[in-house]
Structure 1
Amino acid sequence: MEDPSPRDDTSNVAEAPPTLPHCQLTAAELVAKSIAPVKREFLRPPPARNCDKSVDDNSDDKVAPQVAAPAPILKDKKSKRQMKRDRRQEQKSVLHICPTVAKSGNVNSCVYSENCRFSHDLEAFKSQKPADLEGVCPFLSSAGPCPYGLACRFGGTHKVDNVEVATSANVDKKNSEMNVLTKDVQRLLWKNRMKFPKADAALKLLGLQVQGKKPKPGGNDNDGETDGSNVDGNGCCREDSSEVLEEDIVDKADVADEVRRSKKTKCSTDEACDAPTNGGVIIHEKDVGKSCKQSEPESVVGNIVEDNDKCLKLHPREKEIIDFRDKLYLAPLTTVGNLPFRRVCKGLGVDITCGEMAMCTSLLQGQTSEWALLRRHSSEDFFGVQICGAFPDTVARTVELIDDNCTLDFIDINMGCPIDIVVNKGAGSALLTKPMRMKSVVEASSKAVSTPLTLKVRTGYFEGKNRVDSLIADMGNWGTTAVTVHGRTRQQRYYKLADWEYIYQCARAAPSNLQVLGNGDVFSYLDWNAHKSDCPELSTCMIARGALVKPWIFTEIKEQRHWDITSGERLNILKDYVRFGLEHWGSDSKGVETTRHFLLEWLGYTCRYIPVGLLDVIPPKINWRAPSYFGRDDLETLMGSDSAADWIRLTEMLLGKVPPGFTFAPKHKSNAYDKAENG
């Protein structure tokens, strides 16, 4: 059975002949047409149609033109220079009060004084500030005042008389965010002065680094080891090993001998045997790691030991053992898989979370927006980040940079993203056509850091030409801990159902030291059980769109039941998301509207959920499309609407009225499989 494409999605519901409406089809016939078999008493009457309309106009998705119509947005599109000029003028408006002034309430508190780019007119700000929202300030539970002060949209609840303010430092620890890029590191990245000794040494050892000439101005400052004629915008070497001149390759034996001579590790066999474990994960003691690192030169890469060394030594480059088996894994999801959403899923039972895909080139440039994708909440006890790059040096340096500046459990390298802008740069799914470059990327990254590396791949690039099974046997030798196989090719995008038989084939062909995870169309606990029982070699299943449509799928799997969740329970989940969003993006007007925007993006997926109590056949499948139906109450009917206007109404129940002139066009339409989450 094929998953309907975006072009077929609206016409799929109208497949039945006009003389045979949905209410006259049997449940089996509806399922065969990928139409959800909603009970007849909940079906809406078919809408009135004009016979002169085209097939697209005849679809039941009568609100789709309102959601996806790009004309108003394209008409007002401005150049980057004009947008920057508008932002500066907007910052000078009285509603954009200086954050320092808003927090302190004192006009003279800003160190920039008249040179500040924000307004300092407190009285004008107070007179034009929007009315406070219902509820309490999300920062009242933390020690200290609200960081947004007068700009907070919940300013009326800042009085200590109304709410008891916690003073314990433990509260901050429970609600803290990690992996924040420091200004010092960011400045080094901006000026291209960041050093990458481990990555550069790994590239030399593998023969992937060219030396002898200094890079061009603006290239990465790596002691003149990169030929300036072969660097990209970040100073990264863009050559494959087959293209490097023989006389420029560093002799691997000489490097290895130099490493052996300079190595003076202090780790002992007793330390290796006594290393504590937690759920299969080896935890290296801080003092052991320090003693090893202090005695190493910066050029040490890999776990190289003397051949005549009879003592098994624990080297800090030795990979930790990460056990993914039987754990619930939330996939990295672009746009919607943000930190507040992961916190919601964490409360609903997920075990492993991963940040949104970040581009290596943007991270190496120190872009704040890209580094925000690496943020981790303290409640995420098993957390990884996902990066995407095209060349070994770019990825290796990014991995080293993340390992030095972030707290995480693993780093996932995306080799399956199907989006054109990524593939055209040679990253994502494009790497599936270049297995030698895949190998170089993984080997260089693995030798640069001790953090475990994982891969995310698709079955292949072209439809009908799967190739991961031919590479899976070697991936364990490259230095990766686990591989997630998404059961579709790049060319298929999200059009067809995932090929789980091929995923099983890859899992059975994998070596014992490589864990294989499956991904694609897991939408109920029965799907999870079936995949686990059909292939015991499969470590676990990664859940992506299923979690977007119903994040309580993790609860269903752990409790082994279909949860006929009520509209009130779903609303409480949305309330939790709003609270987490305000804590993450801020409680001022900008933070409120940012939270609203991402909530609307998520509602574009949750509207696809059909309550199991309304279905004649269970379990539901992710490729089913619902006819127009009534819910069991007004709120459930509203939540099932595919109209963006109804999504906005839901956000107004939680975040107040939208500002004047507010418009919304979803970035990721729920029925557009080719523009859903990356990889």
Structure 2
Amino acid sequence: MLPPGTAQVKAEFLLPVNPPAAPDDDAAEGSGSVRRDTRSGDPQDDARSTGPTRVKLTKAQKKAQSGSNKGRRFGKVHDELDLCFKVAAGSMCDFEDKCQNNHDIPAYLAVKPPDLRFPQPGDVHDMPLPGAMDVDSAAPPPLTICPVFEATGECRFGFRCRYLGGHVRYDESGTPELVKDDDKIARVALTAVEANRISSHAQKLLRTKKYPFPIAAAFQKELEGSDGTKAVPTATSIVIAEPDQMDDEPEPAAPPPVQPSTDADPILEQRTTDALVAQRTADALPAPDAPDARTRFAEKKRLDWAGKTYLAPLTTVGNLPFRRLCVSYGADITCGEMGLAPSFLAGSKEEWSLVRRHPSERTFGVQIAGSKIPALVAAAEVLAQECAGGVDFVDLNCGCPIDLVFKTGSGAALLDNVNRLGKIVRGMSRALGEIPVTVKLRTGVKDGKNTAHKLMPRLGPEFGAGAITLHGRTRQQRYTKLADWAYIKECVDAVRAREADEDLPRIPIFGGGDCFSSHDYHACVDASGVDGVMVARGALIKPWIFTEIKERREWDISARERLEGIQRYAEYGLTHFGTDTAGLNATRRYLCEALSFQYRYVPIGLLETLPARINDRAPAFRGRDELETLLASGDSRDWVRIAEMFLGPAPEAWSFTPKHRSNSYESQG
């Protein structure tokens, strides 16, 4: 008899071994500490241990270990001889005399590793498993196909591409020449090109603190008082600190979408810049004959999300390739990984990569976190300017429970500061224009002290939120208890009651927590009255959950069908991260991250009772075939081997460490 909380696997599939350790989703939230592993022998592990064996850390140790997953290292793997990107793409390098990279294509190709082969969709059903991949030496080498070239008609990595044979030809003298498919390039211009790429000029303005923020500045002046003087803080008031770029009048800056030429007329450029700032300042302030010329709440773009499926924003694993995979399974709404407002304003390349959107993402949002009113409003303003037309909503994170975020006053900490939260939402709403602001929150901060039922009715009519998502747990609960869907219903009823009493426009409300099947999804919607369920952990473990929800069935997906999904993820990863050595191994890393969740799936055909429950932990079991057994392996070395089926052998210098030793993930609330 299996103990409570264990998945009820049929007896014929059970293995007579000790049960594997259950992944700890609370540990994966990112407290900065790692549970003691007495088998490691690493004194650093002992220093980070928790519980009765906790050791007091020195100040230096605390600083070195602050943050999550400090032990994970994913250094970039480069070619033995790096080739200049410009030359690799078939262009001339503008800085050939100063460029530190190689420009000799024949020399690069002489030492470059052999081409890899990416399998085609039909090949996955006949692919041998890792360990049984002996190739007949007499057989002709398979045709090399580049996923990026096949998708777009050209490969931006040129000679650096590890699938070079798919887009190169040689002339009579043996000189290599890159190939382009002009017809395909024209056809896929609107269907395969990622959106929301910030210009290098705008990044420079942000980094040098010269980007104009007239709307944020005007809103800040309103908060300080109509006479423009600083408000005197009291013991209970909120001190609003402005970022550096708001201390003085914004310096003139060229329009971000336009890249200035090197021979531009500085006087003409200055006049263009002044006109830009003047126009945006006029947009920020009401006209003399209009008390309030801004976009009102009732005039905001309305979000019609009823009946749509929503993939939650997920740190690390919720990247663009994973979102594309979920879209292919039926996800309607997607949201980028959580970004920090100060990092957006600093022009961080890493932070701005989080807003990239694939054309297949039909409804796409950006999630932002922070605690300072000026920073969040300014970040919303720059998102509206730089991603106009590429963002359907901006989500304010008021639910992230991790200590690193909470202690700065961000995430779930905003739930205890409703005054500040209201100012943030109002300011972001004004800065975003027609783009709606949505809010993601938890039921409260402390266990047993739910507060969302008081806050949620105010978010729309008073603060201007266009949609609300409520995770059915407090910040303190993390994942120690099941989500409270009865309380979610109470909150939904409170919002709908105010909308009815005051004849307010209806805003979408999504719930979240423990959704792992089509049955869970529709039962939660029917019982609570939400417009839908935001799916997080369920999508990580089984991305095909969106197909189940759309078709109202429990899909007993086969191992080969699951492998097809893994292949699509690899293809999307190469298209996004790149087909050169660095991009290939970035794809390898994130594919292994995805497999570190998917292994937790127990096939429906192996279960005694349905539906499966997300918190049930599987005993050791074998699958119905060899591949199904491999996909259920909790050994990270097996995840690397699965990735090698699509990405070739991992470099000797490359290794994969699961996120926290629990193989869990860092949710955003």
TM-score by length of 2: 0.76
**Deviation per residue, 1:385-420 (Å, 9 max, x gap):** 100010111111100100111111111000111121
Q: What is the aligned counterpart of 1:340 among 297, 313, 321?
A: 321
Q: Which amino acid aligns with 2:651?
A: P
Equivalent position amino acid for 2:6 in 1: I
**Per the alignment, do residues 120 and 55 of structure 1 end up closer, same or farther by CA in structure 2, a change over 3 Å counting?**
closer
- 2:202 equivalent among 185, 208, 221: 185
Residue pair 1:668, 1:676 contacting (<8 A) in 2 also: no
Residue 676 (1) aligns with residue 666 (2) = yes
Structure 1 671/493 Cα, relative in aligned 2: closer, same or farther at 3 Å?
A: farther
Aligned to 1:34: 5
Q: 1:670 to 1:209 in 2, by over 3 A?
A: farther
Which of 489, 496, 519 lines up with 1:526 in the alignment? 519
Which of 458, 462, 476 matches 1:491?
476
Compared with structure 1, are the counterparts of its residues 65 and 390 closer, same or farther at alpha carbon in structure 2 (3 Å cutoff)? closer
Contact 1:392 1:442 in 2 (8 A): no
Distance in 1 (CA, whole Å) between partners of 2:18 and 2:615 is 23
- 1:276-287 to structure 2, matched below 5 A, reads none
Distance 2:288 2:465 in 1: 20
Asked if structure 2 preserves the Cα contact closer than 8 Å seen for 1:608 and 1:626, the reply is yes
Corresponding letter in the other structure for 1:430: A
Query: Helix, strand or coil for the counterpart of 2:338?
Result: strand
Q: Distance in 2 between matches of 1:182 and 1:634?
A: 49
User: Offset at 1:122?
Assistant: 3.5
With 613-622 and 465-474 compared, the bigger mean Cα shift is at 465-474
Pick aligned residue for 1:390 from 347, 354, 371: 371
Please state if 1:464 is matched with 2:448.
Answer: yes
Match of 1:622 among 577, 590, 614: 614
AA aligned opposite 2:105: L
For the residue of structure 2 that corresponds to 1:517, the secondary structure is: strand
Matched residue pairs, number?
554
CA gap 1:120/1:313 in 2 versus in 1, 3 angstroms: closer
Task: State the secondary structure of the residue aligned to 1:455.
Answer: strand
CA distance in 2 between counterparts of 1:504 and 1:416 reads: 18
Paired residues for 1:128-147 under 5 Å: 128-135=111-118, 136-141=145-150, 145-147=154-156
Q: CA deviation at 1:197?
A: 0.7
Name the structure 1 match of 2:421.
Answer: 438
Of 378-387 and 163-172, the range deviating more from structure 2: 163-172
User: Does the aligned pair in 1 maintain the 2:22–2:617 contact within 8 Å?
Assistant: no
8 Å CA contact 1:303, 1:318 repeated in 2: no
> Are residues 1:608 and 2:593 paired?
no
Q: Give 1:96's aligned residue.
A: 82
Match of 1:151 among 129, 141, 160: 160
Counterpart among 349, 354, 360 of residue 368 in structure 1: 349
Match of 2:534 among 507, 525, 542: 542
Q: CA RMSD in A?
A: 3.7
The one-letter code of the counterpart of 1:540 is G
Q: Which amino acid aligns with 1:539?
A: D
**Distance (Å, rounded) in 2 between the aligned partners of 1:140 and 1:576:** 15
Q: What pairs up with 1:35-114 in 2 under 5 angstroms? A: 35-47=6-18, 71=42, 94-104=80-90, 109-114=92-97
- Aligned partners of 1:518, 1:319: CA distance in 2, in Å? 23
Q: State how far apart, in whole Å, the 2-side matches of 1:48 and 1:308 are.
A: 68
Matched, 1:591 2:577: no
Change in CA separation of 1:314 and 1:484 when aligned onto 2, cut-off 3 Å: closer
CA contact (8 A) 1:524 1:553 kept: yes
1:286 corresponds to: none
Distance 2:243 2:291 in 1: 45
Task: Write the deviation string for residues 163-221 of structure 1: whole angstroms up to 9, x where unpaired.
Answer: 994614122321110000101100100110011111221232344799569xxxxxxxx
Moved more, 587-596 or 511-520: 511-520
The aligned residue for residue 100 of structure 2 is: 117
1:400 aligns with 2:409: no
Residue 431 of structure 1 deviates from its aligned partner by 0.9
Query: Paired residue for 1:411, among 379, 394, 407?
Result: 394
Q: Which amino acid aligns with 2:429?
A: S
Is the Cα contact below 8 Å between 1:142 and 1:166 reproduced in 2?
no
- How far apart are 1:66 and its partner, in Å? 10
In 1, Cα distance between the equivalents of 2:152 and 2:38? Answer: 42
User: Structure 1: any 5+ residue segments left out of the alignment?
Assistant: 1-23, 57-63, 81-85, 214-228, 238-292
Cα 1:314–1:645 change in 2 (3 A) is closer
Judged with a 3 Å threshold, the aligned counterparts in structure 2 of structure 1 residues 467 and 100 are, in CA distance, closer, same or farther, namely same
CA distance in 2, matches of 1:317, 1:375: 29
Match of 2:361 among 376, 380, 389: 380
Aligned to 2:127: none
CA-to-aligned-CA distance 1:344-363 (integer Å, 9 cap, x gap): 11111111111111100000
Identity percentage of aligned residues: 40
| 465-474 or 350-359, larger mean C-alpha shift | 465-474
Task: Give the TM-score taking structure 1 as reference length.
Answer: 0.75
Q: Give the structure 2 partner of residue 263 of structure 1.
A: none
Q: Quick one: higher RCO (CA 8 Å, sep 6+), 1 or 2?
A: 2
Distance in 1 separating the partners of 2:441 and 2:648: 42
**Does 2:639 match 1:640?**
no
Cα distance in 2 for partners of 1:577, 1:88 equals 21
Describe the superposition over 1:516-536 as per-residue Cα deviations: whole angstroms up to 9, x where unpaired: 210111111111111111123
Q: Distance in 2 between matches of 1:558 and 1:89?
A: 39
The answer to whether structure 1 residue 561 and structure 2 residue 553 are counterparts is yes
Secondary structure, aligned partner of 1:38: coil
Q: Measure, in 2, the Cα distance between the counterparts of 1:296 and 1:362.
A: 26
Distance 1:300 1:117, change over 3 A: same
Checking the alignment, whether the CA contact within 8 Å between 1:200 and 1:209 is kept in structure 2 is no
The CA distance in 2 between the partners of 1:122 and 1:72, in whole Å, is 48
Shift in alpha-carbon separation, 1:493–1:143, aligned structure 2, 3 A: closer
Task: Please list every run of 5 or more consecutive structure 2 residues that lacks an aligned counterpart in the other structure.
Answer: 24-34, 48-60, 66-72, 119-144, 171-177, 231-238, 248-275, 500-504
The one-letter amino acid paired with 2:156 is P
Give per-residue Cα distances to partners, 1:334-376, cap 9 Å, x unaligned: 1111111111111111111111111000000000110000001
Q: Where does residue 17 of structure 1 map in the other structure?
A: none
In the alignment, residue 35 of structure 1 is paired with which amino acid? T
Q: Does 1:662 align with 2:654?
A: yes
Q: Counterpart of 2:472 in structure 1: which amino acid?
A: G
Is the 2:242–2:374 Cα contact (8 Å) retained in structure 1?
no
- Return the match for 1:351 from 314, 320, 332: 332
Matched position secondary structure for 2:465: coil
> Contact between 1:669 and 1:676, CA under 8 Å: does it hold in 2?
no
**Does the C-alpha gap of structure 1 residues 137 and 297 become closer, same or farther in structure 2, counting only changes over 3 Å?**
closer
Match of 2:508 in 1: 515
8 A Cα contact 1:429 1:457, kept in partner: yes
| Residue 409 (structure 2) aligns with | 426
SS in 1 for 2:509: strand
Deviation at 1:307, TM superposition (A): 8.6
1:475 pairs with 2:459? yes
C-alpha separation between the residues in 2 aligned to 1:129 and 1:330?
A: 40
Between 129-138 and 294-303, report the one with greater CA deviation.
294-303
Aligned-partner Cα distance in 1 for 2:474–2:657: 28
Give 1:95 shift.
Answer: 2.7
Moved more, 601-610 or 137-146: 137-146
